[in-house]
A = this chain, B = another copy of it.
Amino acid sequence: MPLLMNRTDIEVVLWSEDRLVTRAWLLENIKGAAGVLVLLTETVNAELLEAAGPNLRVVSTLSVGYDHIDLLLMAQRNIRVGYTPDILTEAVADLSVMLALMAGRNDGPTYSLAKNGEWAKYMHNWSPFTFCGPQLSTTASSPNRTVGFLGFGRISQATLARLVPFGITHCIYTSSPTSKPDTARDAALKAKHKLAAVERVDLDRLARESDVLFVLSPGGKETYHLVDATFLRKMKEMSVLVNTGRGTVVDSDALATALHEKWIWGAGLDVVEGEPHIGTDHPLVKEPRCVIVPHIGSATFETRMDMVTRAIDNLMGGLSGGEMPSELRVAA
């Protein structure tokens, strides 16, 4: 904020409440603006441009995603668009590891038990396998672990690096069918991490061989429900599914069935199709082996501050007619 507020050459109109801006306020206050900083929740369309008027030259979104912005329209009107890619890689990789551990270590009541005052109650029925789940790290008697990635971009590779000291041995992944194989990169990753394999595979092998499967692909039509009942039925009984990518990649009903009928051990989700409208009657909420956190992948002070800084740099760069550190370019 000081980045913006200390400027004397621009007038800043700020939604100052600590909640999402209302559409009415935005449409009223954007009048005559040269630039606007928005969140993923603000639709940037003809209506908004109409309200802003012809002065608008820059739209800067505090997000990696840009589904909320009509990019073609922006290009037609010569409005530059900034976004905040890459910055959240480390934060989302951290969360991916956390959810893999939580999903494995979750025998249902584990995380709510102490908060519900039930710790002592459970101990009456303690046995050596109470609260047990599959172990992420290898052991002397269980020396192999295969991690799978549906989508193998920056976040997947940062997650893979974090799992190396847990003793994982094999990495398999799928990529968009239109992308070219990168065997040189895979060989370099295999050598760097001293793994038995880093291999691009098809969905069938990804499902069958992964001990922990990370969904880290983009959303959209091409990845819609790639993880469905057919996929889940092929997975190992003790495997764990983590989705820190996009909710639409996983069929929620199929995953709920897979957990309920124990096709797989557990799931850890940061994203769910239809979020945030996930009520207590949602089939995944009812599954005790499903851990759900509310889309907090990039929610660290460090990362969000870097995202805000980038969004403001984009905005100021665009206003001055200079370089925007992260500009989205679409041909009109």
> Which positions in A face B, CB cutoff 8 Å?
18-20, 39, 41, 62, 87, 90-91, 93-95, 97-98, 101-102, 104-105, 107, 110-117, 119-120, 122-142, 161-162, 164-167, 238, 272, 275-282, 285, 291-294, 296, 299-309
Contact = CB atoms under 8 A, between A and B. Distances in A.
Given A91-B137, A98-B102, A117-B285, 7 more contacts: A19-B125, A19-B126, A39-B126, A105-B299, A110-B294, A122-B294, A161-B165
A134 B19 contact: no
A228 to B, nearest CB: 22
A83 B93 CA distance: 38
A56 B20 CA distance: 71
A290 B285 CA distance: 22
Contact of A120 (B95, B142, B277): B277
Number of copies: 2
A79 to B, nearest CB: 23
A18 to B, nearest CB: 5
A293 B137 contact: no
B305 A134 contact: no
B90 A135 contact: yes
Given A93-B137, A124-B20, A278 B117 contact: yes
A85 B101 CA distance: 23
Contact of A139 (B119, B296, B306): B306
Contact of A135 (B137, B138, B162, B300): B300
A25 to B, nearest CB: 15
Contacts of A97: 97, 101
B127 A18 contact: yes
A312 to B, nearest CB: 12
